[in-house]
Amino acid sequence: MNNRQRRVRAIELTLTPQQVVMVWLRNALQAGTLEEGARHSPPHRSAVANAVYDAVRNSMKGQPDPLVERAILQARREADSLYLLVVHTNVAVLEGRVQREREYMFLLGCLSAEMNGKATKNRVQTLRLVVLVFLESVIILDAAIAQVEAGRLNGQRVLFRDCSVQLEEQVQMAERLSEHFNFLARSLGSAEINLEDLRKSLQSETDRQISVWISLARVATLSVFGNDEEMDAAMDQHFLLCEAPDPCTT
């Protein structure tokens, strides 16, 4: 181990659980895509847990072993939950891509048919409701990711390269779809869709989406770093949170 490696190692041993995850994330984002990260050996999740173990052991030298072990468990839970929140955020982008592409093409076809036919205000109003469902799903996803970055990662980017590209594509779909709809709405004197106003109106839904991701991460964390009673309680809480279906299917 050379001098630089020793300095890096010394710094790593002083990191908090959040900092351990942020260091891992920064390095992982530079290294490749989410798919490449999933194939990484050793697994990133294990590497984070081991780094936390070493950091806590180092910071609590000379203290009683039971106290150290409890601190290690708590720190691993904290780091693992944040790590899994990062994973769920990225996976949410990938999981929704194919469905949104199909919905986007379908809605473009509907708008085109109305533009080339004899559109009425009633039909446009009905189409507006369908378009809003699509727009809201994209806006909630995009806003939730931005809030995770700001609130949980001190502004650090959370998406891997492939997921970032796919999110941008979905946001562009939403923008183009709203532009096409607004063109049709203006031609009939109907209400247009303002994406910024829509984003502001969806704050509670955005917060709820983040809560679902955090809840999922907690359940998965306790499956490894908890007991059966704790995991069952976390699962019950997650099911209650998901009683309203939309955020859980995003």
The CA-to-CA distance between both ends of the chain, in Å, stands at: 46
| Predicted local confidence at residue 247, as pLDDT | 45
Output the CA–CA distances (angstroms, integers) from residue 99 to 92, 216, 245, in the order listed.
12, 22, 16
Q: Mean pLDDT lowest for which of 57-66, 161-170, 189-198, 241-250?
A: 241-250
From 10-14, 122-126, 165-169, the region with the lowest mean pLDDT: 10-14
SS3 of residue 229 by DSSP: helix
User: 34 vs 197, which has greater pLDDT?
Assistant: 197
Q: How far is CA 46 from the centre of its chain?
A: 21
In the chain, what percentage of residues exceed pLDDT 90?
Answer: 76
Cα gap 86→25, rounded to integer Å: 8
Q: State the pLDDT confidence band at 4, using cuts at 50, 70 and 90.
A: low
Q: Is the pLDDT of residue 5 over 70?
A: no
Say if residue 217's pLDDT is above 80. Answer: yes
More confident residue, 94 or 8: 94
Average pLDDT, the chain: 90
pTM of the model: 0.88
**What is the average pLDDT across 178-207?**
95
Cα torsion 207, 209, 212, 216: sign: negative
Give 19-71 pLDDT, tens digit per residue: 999 999 999 998 788 888 877 777 899 999 999 999 999 888 999 999 999 99
The structural domains of the chain, with segments of one domain joined by +, span 3-249
Which two three-digit tokens encode residue 5?
């490696």
Position 210 pLDDT exceeds 50: yes
